[in-house]
Structure 1
């Protein structure tokens, strides 16, 4: 009897030990790395419908990568301090990542922050040439960028170690503003003059969520140390201006958080759905431009984050899933007259009589013509970690209402909307914005309803992952 009991006890101990070992092997691991993607002086800068050559560096640009691993499954999220990333850059970077790090390219999300003080990355748009995208410098930078993105993932992959992952959502209502306004004449204006008496009210909401992930190392027999944060907020990156390289306010935010968490602490900032959101407060007469403005916004966000540390909630499950869907989006309708006009405008872009609206329309129309009637094919991707955390990629400058629709219906408590991810098709307004018109609608290559198709795809993927 005693021998039998001893045998049973030994079996239970062995079973428990095996279970414990298996659990340890299934623990969530992560690695974080940042690789400089700062270009040399003289590289064309993106975002202003004119050629600007960089004249120095205010602060460096980075490709920042987080690699998650659990039970042999890996996924990576890479955020680049760049205006936009064309699809060919994503494809090449994924191929390099798969070769160098053994992470399936389909399991990698790559996004741009949309800094307007970053280089042109030569893509598929007619407008690229106006920004200097056809220059030798821009083409050289574009060719090298996938290698730097892959390097960031490789370094993060080498740093994989057990972590504790926590999350929370803070609220900040004073840093972002809807930039479309209903006017007294019944129209919707884009960035009207400050304190304009003809303004009635904003034409849409903001998204005040400052979503925060917090990664701590979990070494054996030692206290964990701050490793990194992932911050998701819906705000257009165009505060700094000028002709010097800068990551804009996310760069300042990263440095501010490192002051309290340690010099090696990384902050990865992902831009939320903010196609119609910027930092411009129409009630305030300050021009809100320059380094001081970028630092002011970073300070506001750092304050919201610092107030939220105590509300962090540990994420206890860690299973990694990646799902994606190719969505076909209808092109914006154009007429023969539109095409004729676009060609005329493009032929005289340097003419002072060419208006901004004419230029925007011309680039849109010529890009649509180049597609020969083929719809836009874009990727929507979802990466989930456990039962509460999801990253959602959307391929353009997405109106805030669309991002909120996903978050409100998502089965994941912490849903990070990452715009300008895995490619970009430019502005994606919500359906009701199309008859209101103005800049974002003039520019949109996709037809009304395209944004809602992206929302539907994202929710299908989120719900499938949750099952």
Structure 2
């Protein structure tokens, strides 16, 4: 209660933007409950597990913008990822029912590890419950649920004033790759491990925020982005993880009419584990602690909101070709043997990295040399705000490069958006190896291709003063 009182106090001190709403800019927000029933297989790990219930509901949260010339929508899903077929189906329904061009719709996942498994034809997914009837039904129904949320948001649209801020939240996110004393680069090497020398990469402590207030000064929606892996909770109950607390506190502080959107920034190599501390960091209490810190930082940033000048909407997207890592076709047989050995009674179990490599090998070989075609998208307002979508678990170094190179004052990143190719490390990480690199379905240099595409579009969309 003390923490909540502190957060609410921040709101009471926060500013209300003065003056009329920007001419022509309208905003609507809505959310729909997408929580599957108990028994639905859960995503997040290399084994199948069924949900036993729900700790907190999973949502599709939607923000719709309309400047009189252009309409755009942002959708944030409390899911492990997005798939290209699901995104395409949802976009088509949104265009048909709401009149928003499919290419102007951004659909991203928060990367909750306590959401449902996503039904897919992918071999890796089918091994962990994605062919289960409840998982298939969930994915079949999801596009319509998303379209309904967008329709509800559009119907609720009002004139608004847009404003932005870039806050800061330190001490909750940590790079999970480390230089070790033996010269290797470790991944999650354990708390108080004496073999750790130093972190192998940075974190991004910036907290971009965009808020939309109606003519009475009441917030309609708030979009925020932060780079931290959402694998805090664990267990057999559906949960959105950290965003549950963040959104609850933002709504309590900024008004019950507020619908917050939580985007996960580039955090492929970043999580919440502080290896310098011996304290346990798992469960709903830890998620609430981190979420409270993030909500407080967001509300503090709201004390310094700046109006968006000339908030005309502009949207661009680009298809980027990402090459496959080099894997011999004959390696697939050995990979399948490894997977079979993992579940065979009495057989010696492969190591975790051997299993990860086996699934990666099968996925890559089955593409028969066809590179990935993925989408990078930018939604921009004036010269102040831009939201960049990236199609995977993007290393934080790549996200920092985009944000620092962007000409926009407030650049937010939403990873796992409009489909996903899994982990996308930066060039430096590939020779270092370990989990994210072993798991990567894309070749070295793919992350830099995404960065180049994002920066090109940001520069094209920027309105010079």
Cα separation, partners in 2 of 1:24 and 1:230, compared to 1, 3 Å: closer
8 Å contact kept, 2:79–2:109 = yes
Query: Which residue number in structure 1 is paired with residue 176 of structure 2?
Result: 179
1:131 is paired with a residue of what secondary structure?
Answer: coil
Q: Distance in 2 between matches of 1:109 and 1:446?
A: 22
* Within-5 A mapping of 1:79-228: 79-218=76-215, 223-228=216-221
* Within-5 A mapping of 1:385-424: 385-424=381-420
Whether 1:462 and 2:455 are equivalent positions in the alignment is no
Whether 1:438 and 2:431 are equivalent positions in the alignment is no
Query: Which residue number in structure 2 is paired with residue 20 of structure 1?
Result: none
Larger deviation, residues 257-266 vs 292-301: 257-266
Query: Which residue number in structure 1 is paired with residue 356 of structure 2?
Result: 360
8 Å contact kept, 2:21–2:161 = no
Query: Which residue number in structure 2 is paired with residue 271 of structure 1?
Result: 264
TM-score normalized with structure 1 length: 0.92
Higher relative contact order (CA 8 A, sep 6+): 2
Of the three residues 197, 218, 237, the one matched with 2:230 is 237
Q: Distance in 2 between matches of 1:282 and 1:358?
A: 25
Query: Which residue number in structure 2 is paired with residue 17 of structure 1?
Result: none
1:461 is paired with a residue of what secondary structure?
Answer: helix
2:362 is paired with a residue of what secondary structure?
Answer: helix
* Within-5 A mapping of 1:300-379: 300-336=293-329, 338-351=331-344, 352-379=348-375
1:192 is paired with a residue of what secondary structure?
Answer: coil
Residue 78 of structure 1: how far off its partner (Å): 0.3
Q: Distance in 2 between matches of 1:414 and 1:210?
A: 9
Cα separation, partners in 2 of 1:307 and 1:155, compared to 1, 3 Å: same
Residue 336 of structure 1: how far off its partner (Å): 4.1
2:236 is paired with a residue of what secondary structure?
Answer: coil
Residue 340 of structure 1: how far off its partner (Å): 2.9
8 Å contact kept, 1:97–1:103 = yes
Q: CA RMSD in A?
A: 1.4
Query: Which residue number in structure 2 is paired with residue 383 of structure 1?
Result: 379
Q: Distance in 2 between matches of 1:237 and 1:59?
A: 14
2:380 is paired with a residue of what secondary structure?
Answer: strand
Residue 329 of structure 1: how far off its partner (Å): 0.5
Q: Distance in 2 between matches of 1:61 and 1:190?
A: 29
Residue 306 of structure 1: how far off its partner (Å): 2.2
Larger deviation, residues 235-244 vs 340-349: 340-349
Q: What whole-Å deviation, never above 9, does each CA across 1:225-275 have from its counterpart, x for those lacking one?
A: 122211100000010110001010111110011111222321110000000
8 Å contact kept, 1:25–1:71 = no
Residue 29 of structure 1: how far off its partner (Å): 0.6
Count how many residue pairs are aligned between Structure 1 and Structure 2.
441
8 Å contact kept, 2:176–2:270 = yes
8 Å contact kept, 1:49–1:131 = yes
1:412 is paired with a residue of what secondary structure?
Answer: coil
Residue 337 of structure 1: how far off its partner (Å): 5.0
Q: What whole-Å deviation, never above 9, does each CA across 1:26-77 have from its counterpart, x for those lacking one?
A: 5211100001101011100001111111111110010011010002310000
Larger radius of gyration: 1
Give the unaligned 5+ runs of structure 2: 1-19
Larger deviation, residues 245-254 vs 259-268: 259-268
8 Å contact kept, 1:86–1:124 = no
Q: Distance in 1 between matches of 2:259 and 2:307?
A: 19
1:349 is paired with a residue of what secondary structure?
Answer: helix
1:50 is paired with a residue of what secondary structure?
Answer: coil
TM-score normalized with structure 2 length: 0.93
8 Å contact kept, 1:326–1:377 = yes
Cα separation, partners in 2 of 1:169 and 1:178, compared to 1, 3 Å: same
Residue 387 of structure 1: how far off its partner (Å): 1.6
Whether 1:76 and 2:69 are equivalent positions in the alignment is no
8 Å contact kept, 2:73–2:106 = yes
Cα separation, partners in 2 of 1:310 and 1:24, compared to 1, 3 Å: closer
Q: Distance in 1 between matches of 2:45 and 2:372?
A: 24
